Structure 1
Amino acid sequence: MQTAIPFLFMRGGTSRGPYLNRADLPDDLDTLAHVLIAMVGSGHPLNIDGIGGGAAVTTKVAMLSQSDDDWADIDYFFGQVSVEDQLVDFKPTCGNILSGVGPAAIEMGLIPAQDGETTVNIRAVNTGAKVKAIVQTPDKAVNYEGTAQIDGVPGTAAPVALQFMETVGGATGALLPTGNLVDTIDGIDVTCMDVAMPMVIAQASSFGLTGYESAEALNDNVAFFARMEAIRLKAGALMGMGDVSSSVTPKFGIVAPPRDGGTISTRYFMPWQTHPSTAVTGAQCLASCVLTPGTVANAPIPNGRPAGIVLEHPAGQIDVMVDYDLTDDGITINSAGLVRTARKLAAGQVFVPSSVWDGN
C-alpha cells in the first residue's frame, strides 16, 4: 500500500521540487523527514526511487499554509533533502524555491488571485524572514510566460519580483555572528555573515583559486572541498551554530575581482557541491558582504542607495538591489530585491510507502 499526497511540481528560480500543502503532511518533524526522504528518493545518487533530480538544487521541498501572522498571507516552510545521505535539514530557507511560493499558493487556493498582479506576503518559517512577492495574474490566473530571463534557466518566463525584509541575523541573531569583520581560521581570512543565509566567505586566492573556475572543476577539487569543510565546521561553532557537520548551514562562498562587468565574481557552495549558479539567499549575503567596509570582499562599494550589486556566478550573473544605511557602527541592511521566474511543471499526487506514513 502507498499513501497519496497532493502536490505541485515546480521550478522556482534555478531550483525545483514539490510544493505541498502543509495540512496534507504529518505534523511530527521526524515523520515528516521520512516522508520527504521517500518522496525525493534520497539515498541514491540519481534519486531513482523518488522525484528528486540527483542534485541539491533538485531535492528541495516547499510546504505552504495560510499564515496566522498579522503581516503575512502565506507561511513557507522549507526542507532541504540530501541527495544520498537520507537527511533533511529544516534550518535554512531557499530563496530560489521561494520564487514559486506565490504562484503555488494561488494554484493551491491558499490566496485568491487579483486581476493583473497579485501581491503575496510570505513568512519564511525556517528563518522568520518576510518576503513580498509580486506574481503576474492577468484574468486572475497565474501567468508563467513572459520575457524575464535569469541566468541558469533556459528561455524566458513571467517575472516574479521579490522584496526580502528582516533578513539580518535570522539564523544567528546578528549581522556578524562572531562579532568580527574578519576571522582567521586555519590560516584563511573569512567573513562570517548572516543576511538571509548564514555564510562563511573567503577570497578565492586564499585557496589558490582564481574564482572563475566552473562548478564542475571545483566539484572535482577534492582537496579544496576538504579544506573548505574543515573551515566551515569551525566557523559554524564560532557563529554560535554548534555542530554543523550534518547541516547545510552555514553555506560557504568565495569571491574574486569581476571579469565580466559585474561588481564581484562569486562561487557558492551548498555546501558539499558547487551551486551551478547561485542561491537567492546567498546572493543577498554576498551582496551585503560587498557593501560592508572591512570584509574579505574588498570590492568597490557602489554609489547610491539602494545599491545595485551584480554578482558573477558560473552560469552568468544575478542582480541584487540592496537598501541599506551606513552608520557609525557599520551597516544596516533594510531590504534586498531580486527578480526571479517560476514555472508549474506538473500537478497531481506523489506516493510514499504506507510503512513510512499511513496518511493519518
Structure 2
Amino acid sequence: MAHVPQIKIPATYMRGGTSKGVFFKLSDLPESAQTPGEARDRLLMRVIGSPDPYQKQIDGMGGATSSTSKTVILSKSDSPDHDVDYLFGQVSIDEPFVDWSGNCGNLSAAVGPFAISNGLVDPSRLPENGVAEVRIWQANIGKTIVSRVPMSDGQVQETGDFELDGVTFPAAEVPVAFKDPADGKGAIFPTGNLVDELEVPGVGTLEATLINAGIPTIFVNAADIGYTGTELQEAINGDSAALERFEAIRAHGAVKMGLIGNVTDAASRQHTPKVAFVAPPAGYTASSGKDVKADEVDLLVRALSMGKLHHAMMGTAAVAIASAAAIEGTLVNLAAGGGKRNAVTFGHPSGTLRVGAEASLVDGRWSIDQAVMSRSARVLMEGFVRIPGDAF
C-alpha cells in the first residue's frame, strides 16, 4: 500500500504573553488552505495534533491546553491604515474543529514582532533603534490593535527585563493597545444592562455582567457560586461537577448575549464567550509560590478558557476586565470598590496584572476608546512544520 509522504510548511513557533502558537504567513500555506474552509481547518488541526481523544496532542505542536492549542495566520494588509492582517484560530483539543469566533489577546503581542521579522511591515516605518509602531487589523473581530515593538540594530528586540506573571523568564516589554475593543459591531453590553439576572437551570439565578469588549465575557460574583476568587487551577479543573456548572453558565450567558440561538450550540463555540468570576481583594499564594497581598490588587479574577480554569489570564479577557472596571456599576467595577477608574491591578492564579481602559458614555451607550496592557513575546523555534500530505 502506497503512503503519501509528509509535506513541510514554513512556520514559526512563538510565545506571546502567557500563550504559545504556531504562526504562518498566509502566502506560505498550501493553496487550498489560503482561503477559509475545510482544507484550512484540517491542516491546522493536523499541525496542532487534534482532534486527540487522549487530550495530549502528542502527535502535533499543541501543548494540550487552551493556552497552547493556537494558530495564527498573517498577511500584509491591503489597508493603508494597517500594516498586517491577523487571523487567529483556536484549535479544539479533543473535537474536530477550529474556532474562529474571537481574538487571542496574548498572541496579539507576538503579531508585531513576527510581522516585522517576516517583511510584512514597510521598512521605512521601522527605526534602527527605538520603538516600531505596528498597526494590526484583527480579522476575527474587525478591530484595530496597535503594538509597540522594541527595535535594536534594525532587529526586533526580544530579550529584556520585563516580568510577566505566568511567564517564567523576563523578556522585552511589548505594550499593546486594543482600539474600540467591542467584539465586531455589537454593543459593549448586548442586553443594554450593566448587570443582568442570568437564570441557569441547576445553578440558580445569578447576577452577571455580560460584556463584549476584547472578547465576549460573562462575569459573575465568586461568592454567588461558592468561591472566594483565590482559587488555583486544581481547585476547579479536577472537579467535573464544577466544570459542568461553568459550562452551563457559559451556554446560558451566550444565549442571553445573542451569540448563539440555543444552549446546545455552545458546544461548537468553545472559544467564546469566556466565563470569569470576581471578588474583592484578598491575599493568596499564586501557583508559582509567590505571595499576593490583598493591598497589591484592586480585585481578584479567575477565568475559564475552553472549559478549564486558565493558569493566568487570557489577554482578551484582560481587555474585558479593564473595560468593565472602567464603567461604574458593573460587577467588575464593584468588586474593585466601585467609582470611576481608568486602570486596575487584578489578581489571577499566576500573580497580578495591571490593565487600563478609557470609557465614555455617548447618547446613552457606553464605548471604550482603547484598552492597554503590556505583554512580551519571543520566537521559540522557526523553520518548517511537517504533516502528512493527505491530512487536508
Aligned with residue 245 of structure 1, among 256, 267, 282: 267
Per-residue CA deviations over 1:193-227 (Å, capped at 9, x if unaligned) read 00010011100111111111101211112222211
Cα distance in 2 for residues equivalent to 1:37 and 1:106: 26
Asked whether the 8 Å contact 2:138–2:144 carries over to 1, the reply is yes
Partner of 1:115: 128
Aligned with residue 56 of structure 2, among 42, 46, 52: 46
Structure 2 residue 213 is the aligned partner of structure 1 residue 195: yes
Per-residue CA deviations over 1:280-311 (Å, capped at 9, x if unaligned) read 1101112222222222232324656xx12112
Cα distance in 2 for residues equivalent to 1:8 and 1:271: 24
Q: Alpha-carbon deviation of 1:120?
A: 0.6
Partner of 1:295: 330
Per-residue CA deviations over 1:321-344 (Å, capped at 9, x if unaligned) read 212235573643110111110011
Structure 2 residue 368 is the aligned partner of structure 1 residue 333: yes
Aligned pairs (5 A) from 1:133-148: 133-148=147-162
* SS of 1:120 mapped into structure 2: strand
TM-score normalised over the length of structure 2: 0.87
Q: Alpha-carbon deviation of 1:9?
A: 0.7
Bigger drift between 347-356 and 19-28 goes to 19-28
Partner of 1:33: 41
Structure 2 residue 109 is the aligned partner of structure 1 residue 99: yes
Cα distance in 1 for residues equivalent to 2:137 and 2:185: 18
TM-score normalised over the length of structure 1: 0.94
Per-residue CA deviations over 1:117-169 (Å, capped at 9, x if unaligned) read 2111001100012111111111110111111111000121111111110212x
Stretches of structure 1 that go unaligned for 5 or more consecutive residues are: none
Q: Alpha-carbon deviation of 1:244?
A: 2.5
Structure 2 residue 178 is the aligned partner of structure 1 residue 164: yes
Asked whether the 8 Å contact 1:62–1:77 carries over to 2, the reply is yes
Structure 2 residue 20 is the aligned partner of structure 1 residue 16: yes
> Which amino acid in 2 is paired with 1:94?
C
Cα distance in 2 for residues equivalent to 1:68 and 1:167: 21
Asked whether the 8 Å contact 1:65–1:110 carries over to 2, the reply is yes
> Which amino acid in 1 is paired with 2:74?
L
Cα distance in 2 for residues equivalent to 1:28 and 1:191: 33
* SS of 1:58 mapped into structure 2: coil
Aligned with residue 76 of structure 1, among 86, 94, 108: 86
Partner of 1:210: 228
> Which amino acid in 2 is paired with 1:353?
P
Identity rate of aligned residues, in percent? 34
Aligned with residue 61 of structure 1, among 67, 71, 74: 71
> Which amino acid in 2 is paired with 1:212?
T
> Which amino acid in 2 is paired with 1:132?
V
Structure 2 residue 110 is the aligned partner of structure 1 residue 87: no
Aligned with residue 7 of structure 1, among 2, 7, 11: 11
Cα distance in 1 for residues equivalent to 2:346 and 2:36: 39
Cα distance in 2 for residues equivalent to 1:121 and 1:98: 11
Cα distance in 1 for residues equivalent to 2:44 and 2:113: 22
Asked whether the 8 Å contact 1:292–1:330 carries over to 2, the reply is no
Asked whether the 8 Å contact 1:172–1:239 carries over to 2, the reply is no
Cα root mean square deviation, aligned: 1.6
